[in-house]
Chains A and B, each alone.
Chain A
Amino acid sequence: MSNINFAVAKDNDGKSIWKFLSGELKPRGKFLTPFNIISIPVIALGLIIIIIRFWKGLGAVTNLTQEVPWGLWIGFDVVTGVAFAGGAYVLTFMVYILNMQKYHSIVRITVLNGFLAYVFYAGALLLDLGRPWNVINPIIGNSFGTSSVLFLVAWHFLLYMIAQLIEFSPAVAEWLGAKRARKILSGMTIAAVIFGITLSTLHQSGLGALYLMAKDKIHPLWYSEFIPVLFFVSSVFAGLSMVIFEGSISNRVFANQISEKNHKAHNSIISGLSKICAVAMFAYFFLHVLIFVHGKRWDLLNTPMGYWYLLEMFGFVLLPMMLFFYGYRRNNILLIKVAAILTMLGVILNRLNVTVIGFRWDAAIRYVPTWMELVVTLTVIFTEIWIFRWVINRMPVLRESPSWVHDKD
């Protein structure tokens, strides 16, 4: 493995960096894979819809109403997507702060996943903006709405993307064979990690805090002053479930890039993560119970929304929590993977319940996304996977770093 990288690095010592880059831009591997066959038409259709959206306005492709101004693109793409990207800050916390070296081999892929998630979900945010040409106003200029939670979230997205890029940059430097740059960039890792964890704490909870002012609009079973805390705690197991899910797919799809050692360690990593998920989910469930009991919400339970709430709490929090715990005790990897998928569904359910399903649950005309909103959402996800695959096939993300990295000089 490292031979190939070394060759790349040596290639690069020559002058033609552009030749190297253009060579890298060409697709590799089989073209007609099932994923490509599905994703290419979806992306093409999605691009057409995006053109219509900017030409005719949001109303032409979405079902958004004056009462429900934020739909699937915010509720799923941004709010749910960012929760799933939480794995990056949790893992960097475990590896760089708690020194749990066991998880080191999956840090890079998780950070890459997180970085791309933020880039694409911030991109999805642009699609939803009515006047996107003013998007720089909160960043530069004299129009700072500093009392806005969204102002905080926007800044944190931007800064966190930079922090994640720094965390990932040694891999880019290794790919380009830039030895000096790698040294400098990897020296910045710890600062970026600490900064990144702090930012994540605040904007994961900030996404929940966005909805604090919508007090009268969100169903009382999902609204509480603790939404920020709940969003933060759930981002821990949302992110780690994504790591487990994505890891088990990568392990199969990119099997040829993973060293024997890391391949073997993978099961032990998954089982370690499942324990953390179980504990975080217990804390989350307990918080929900406290909020429920303190809010005296018993009379809300025996309603359709109440059953829906119970399904979320028991079917998609308590059940996967027990599966995680049981899978960890029995070392049953399959069970853990099932739990991870259930957890992810539960997080999607929870975020949509706050942002879309429970938002204006009493409105005369309910918001239901159009098929076009769904296609654009899929376009965002598929494009992200394309870039993800491109990077993994070229940079040392899953495979070992080139040998010059370990040379002491």
Chain B
Amino acid sequence: MALNRRHFFKVLGVTGATLAIGKELKAIPGKGTSIEFSGVLYDSTRCAGCQTCESSCAEANGLPAPVGTIEAGVVRKTDESHRTVVNAFKSSKGEAFMKKQCMHCNEPACTAACLTQAMYKTKEGPVIWRGNKCMGCRYCMVSCPFDVPKFEYHSANPKIEKCNMCYSRLTEGKVPACVENCPAEALVFGKRRDLIKEARKRIVENPNQYFDHIYGEHEAGGTGFLSIAAVPFDELGLNTSLQSKSYPELSKGFLYSVPTIFVLWPAILLGIREATKTNQSNEEENE
């Protein structure tokens, strides 16, 4: 029965590997309650649309200067050379601004999608991209519900560009460039838990000034980048129909079924094979 033994080891090996998948999934920080992630709070009511965050981001990350000025109704997008943009919207309470960049989800779809751990949720909170691991498959772009990762299509050595919350500045003890340079103090850097408290305080203290919602508290399972504003967020170009479960949750069921199938299928198949064996086919086996 050399054959069966060999097969057994194969199954054993792969089962081990797939069981490890299950473990890994559980290890994704859950709901941001037990781990103190850092984040940024953006207050749309304080933002003046001066674009200082855009230019300081470009400067800090060695990217080209921002293109175009803010004009209500014109939606500018982040791209492979601009990690953040601020847009103006004609809202029900007049002109209002909204900043776009990576949301730094608690359980990011991009890191769950990445098969090389190039997209990586650091323990401090920022989601960073590591070029030495990335193979450029762009599955992170397919998965990200906010369409954040951008790819350099016109390069032979393309990078994925996205905001990384100035991770290298954070490790030096500084705050992100956009936060440091914001003249209106519309951006605050801090622990996510404290930021939610601060956001809630502002909303409670000025109920007429704010729309009662913190965008990012529950969206996509919670994000590190939080926003508060005067009007509902769909007026500010944000997707308000995102699920409150995290996105990796969507493929978790499939991944959990993998070890089960890996254990059961070979056994069932061998069983059927034995059951359908006739005397005749016993003789001409393995033809």
Contacts and interface: CB of A to CB of B under 8 A. Distances in A.
A152 B21 contact: yes
Contact of A194 (B7, B18, B158): B7
B25 A197 contact: no
Nearest to B140: A69
B6 A188 contact: yes
A66 interface: yes
Interface residues of B, number: 76
Interface string B134-164: 1111110111010100111111111000000
Contacts of A145: 111, 113-118
Contact of A152 (B6, B136, B258, B269): B258
A147 interface: yes
Given A147-B21, A147-B248, A58 B158 contact: yes
B273 A99 contact: yes
B139 A99 contact: no
B135 A132 contact: yes
Contact of B276 (A54, A58, A99, A134): A99
Contacts of B254: 149, 205-206, 209, 212, 228
Interface stretch (B42-50, B184-192, B237-245): B237-245
Given A134-B116, A145-B114, A146-B24, A202 B262 contact: yes
B154 A147 contact: no
Nearest to B220: A216
Contact of A130 (B77, B115, B151, B272): B151
Given A191-B10, A213-B143, A147 B112 contact: yes
A187 B3 contact: yes
A186 B79 CA distance: 54
Interface string B113-140: 1111110000000000001111111110
B277 interface: yes
B273 to A, nearest CB: 5
A69 B79 contact: no
A190 interface: yes
Interface stretch (A136-144, A240-248, A366-374): A136-144
B25 A147 contact: yes
18 contacts: A57-B154, A57-B156, A60-B154, A66-B79, A66-B150, A69-B142, A99-B277, A99-B278, A130-B151, A130-B158, A134-B135, A135-B135, A145-B116, A187-B3, A194-B266, A194-B270, A195-B266, A215-B243
Interface of B: 2-4, 6-7, 10-11, 14, 17-18, 20-21, 24-25, 28, 77, 79-80, 109, 111-118, 131-139, 141-143, 145, 147, 150-158, 239, 241-243, 247-248, 250-251, 253-255, 258, 261-262, 265-266, 269-270, 272-273, 276-278, 281, 286-287
